[in-house]
Structure 1
Amino acid sequence: MQVNKQATIKEIAKKLGVSISTVSRALHDHPSIGLRTKTRVQEVAKEMNYEPNQAAIQFKMGKTFTLGVIIPELRENFFSMAISGIEDIAFENNYNVLFGQSHDDVEKEKAILATFKKNRIDGLLVSLSKATKNLDHFLELINADTPVVFFDRVPKNEDAYTVSCDLYKSSIKIVDYLWERGHRHIALLKGPQTLQATNERMRGFMEGLSKKRAKTDPSLFSSSDLTQQGNWDAMKDILSQKNRPTAVVAFNDYVALDAMQYVKRFTKLKINKDICFVSYSNLPMRVYLETPPLVSIEQFPYEQGKRAAEMLMNLMNGKTLTEKQIVLDGELIALDS
């Protein structure tokens, strides 16, 4: 099968007997070119299978029309929904998107960033890995005038552009929900201390208990590295305490599922009877589980991705933003609602 070769501006000009600059102006709808000439040039360009040289256009404009996105795990429903929001905004603005997964490894995060820099991305969206302790590798990009916007897992940095969910207020809502249902021994299964999200959950949890004038029991706090074994170890630690909790606030739905699996496999406790779980993320599959977390916080991943991409577009277009940090209100979703 013969494939039609793409024509060049030079070939179109030769066929029409006009200058290369005339063809170029006609193809770009320049007002100095008459309608008749413009129409003829565009017709011949179509006949000859002409396609604009995007690399040349991008070079002239000083842009690649490419965004970079770094996330911890694409397989997590939260991040796949966030990507949908990012892609929708990118498509509307004629941008391509390059994705990379850090798998919560800071060295992989740095390697992905290095690859993106070689591809000369125009801007970066990133949700930090759990191992990221400083922003030095991102600051190099920012100092080179490439804007960076963080979403969901964001740094505690007043100068950073961020989009996130208010986990502090959401955690207070969780404590209120459990307290109203008679729970007085509430455990907190935390994530890594390096994550700002862990600290915000903890802060809200403590404030929620303080408002009830309840004494906190540090023995019911346990941290996980977010792996299955880490979640099991944290749950084992919580259940080994003298004051066994009647409710556990887990870092997210995935952590809650692992913790519930531990209870089912290694204890005689009945979930949602002897002990219940609440969490964050509001995974769609939660409603199909036989014994799901009773409550989960909706963090609006699609909206986070969309708002972060919109913020990045504005920065790339040189706009001055009055709001550097967008914080969305989380919504408590109960199965009985």
Structure 2
Amino acid sequence: MSAKQPTIKEIAKRLNISISTVSRALHDHSSIGLRTKTRVKELAKELKYEPNQAAIFFQQRKTFTIGVILPFLSELFFSSAISGIEDVAVKSQYTVLLGQSRDDANREKHIIETMKKHRVDGIIISISKHTTNYEHFNRLRQSGIPVVFFDCIPNMTDIHYVACNMVSGTVQATSFLLKNGHRVIGLINGPEKLYASKQRQEGYQIAMSKHRLKYDPSLIVNSDLTKEGSRKAVKELLEHKRKVTAIVTFNDYVALDAMQYADAQQVAINKDVCFVSYSNLPMVEYLKYSPMASVEQNPYLQGQKATEMLLELLQKKEEDQTDNSSYKIIIDSHLVEYKQ
């Protein structure tokens, strides 16, 4: 049987001082003199005393834990975002509890309920591409747990979020192709109800209008973002009655699936049909085929800003500050051109 862990009560008894004095001394409270602090800390070290975190959390009504829910932890985009989240959280002595929805709306709901039971102080989330009902987010906010959305955000009002300017990014991507002489440009978009899909469509329309070209909705094909869905989308564009010479894809993964299919159909990549994408994944330029350019969405910075925003909300909550305003940060995107 292991030895009994020393307690604050034991330290107080040995030094003949109150338990509250020991607690304040261990936390460097200004009301405790240097000599007492030194005696308490030396004895605590000698006894190998470790604070009871559960008791501390109960007293402070916080667990110093942030819940983070992402579609897929394996994606390079989200692994970069996690790094940004953890770098900020660790500096503020917060622990990060991770969960992946795997783009499953029901799994997303289950993870949220689990994190609530574990009493996380707040949650950062990039929602599933299949999430169209937002009731679980409303319940979460009603429970008093601050929520910050990032990257893939719900089409809701009065929410806190960090996002990349995808309208501007799409204007840049489409304009890049137009300036290179392309006039019939297809767009492989994401699920129709996804907010990010609407932003891409808006940017596409703006770019076409700026170059005084007629907007053709039949050149926009929605995909469920699976390999099969992306291949069906590019097949439809390649068989379009108008000869498509360039395609903007929802992200780099969709671009890779689309290019693989096009290559199998004897289409010369970035010659017969040029591709532009989003995400700027580091691996893309090392592959056999890569898009001509990709929109940088700054995942690390999004993660950083989302965590800073959540910590600020938690601080205001702790100080009982009433603030019903919504925090919003839009990060500029920019197009990165690749050498062909």
Q: Pick the TM interval, shorter chain.
A: over 0.9
Where do 4+ consecutive residues of structure 1 move more than 6 Å? none
**1:146: Cα distance to partner?**
1.0
Aligned length: 335
**1:206: Cα distance to partner?**
1.0
Map 1:12-31 onto structure 2 (within 5 A). 12-31=11-30
Shift of the 332–321 alpha-carbon distance from structure 1 to 2, 3 Å rule, reads: farther
**1:329 alignment counterpart:** 332
Shift of the 206–31 alpha-carbon distance from structure 1 to 2, 3 Å rule, reads: closer
**2:306 alignment counterpart:** 308
**2:219 alignment counterpart:** 220
Distance (Å, rounded) in 2 between the aligned partners of 1:191 and 1:219: 15
Distance (Å, rounded) in 2 between the aligned partners of 1:89 and 1:322: 23
Structure 2 SS opposite 1:107: helix
In structure 2, list runs of 5 or more residues that go unmatched: none
**Are 2:51 and 1:52 aligned?**
yes
**1:9: Cα distance to partner?**
1.2
Distance (Å, rounded) in 1 between the aligned partners of 2:180 and 2:21: 77
**1:157: Cα distance to partner?**
2.6
**1:211 alignment counterpart:** 210
Distance (Å, rounded) in 1 between the aligned partners of 2:287 and 2:23: 61
**1:4: Cα distance to partner?**
6.7
Shift of the 316–22 alpha-carbon distance from structure 1 to 2, 3 Å rule, reads: closer
- The question of whether the paired residues in 1 share the 8 Å contact of 2:154 and 2:195 is answered with yes
Q: Deviations over 1:235-277 (max 9, x none)?
A: 1111121213110100000000000011112x11110111111
**Are 2:296 and 1:298 aligned?**
yes
Structure 2 SS opposite 1:254: helix
**1:18: Cα distance to partner?**
3.6
**1:219: Cα distance to partner?**
2.8
Q: Deviations over 1:295-324 (max 9, x none)?
A: 100010000010011111111111659762
Q: Deviations over 1:41-99 (max 9, x none)?
A: 21111010001111111111111111111111111111111111111111111111111
Map 1:26-175 onto structure 2 (within 5 A). 26-175=25-174
**1:36: Cα distance to partner?**
2.7
The aligned amino acid for 1:282 is N
Bigger drift between 80-89 and 311-320 goes to: 311-320
- The question of whether the paired residues in 2 share the 8 Å contact of 1:132 and 1:194 is answered with no
Distance (Å, rounded) in 2 between the aligned partners of 1:139 and 1:119: 19
Distance (Å, rounded) in 1 between the aligned partners of 2:127 and 2:302: 14
Distance (Å, rounded) in 1 between the aligned partners of 2:31 and 2:242: 83
- The question of whether the paired residues in 2 share the 8 Å contact of 1:68 and 1:116 is answered with yes
Distance (Å, rounded) in 2 between the aligned partners of 1:84 and 1:59: 29
Distance (Å, rounded) in 1 between the aligned partners of 2:112 and 2:2: 38
- The question of whether the paired residues in 2 share the 8 Å contact of 1:5 and 1:49 is answered with no
Distance (Å, rounded) in 1 between the aligned partners of 2:37 and 2:261: 72
In structure 1, list runs of 5 or more residues that go unmatched: none
**2:255 alignment counterpart:** 256
Identity %: 53
- Using structure 2 for the length normalisation, give the TM-score: 0.94
Bigger drift between 132-141 and 184-193 goes to: 132-141
Distance (Å, rounded) in 2 between the aligned partners of 1:29 and 1:296: 51
Bigger drift between 78-87 and 315-324 goes to: 315-324
Distance (Å, rounded) in 1 between the aligned partners of 2:198 and 2:18: 66
Structure 2 SS opposite 1:255: helix
The aligned amino acid for 1:223 is N
**2:281 alignment counterpart:** 283
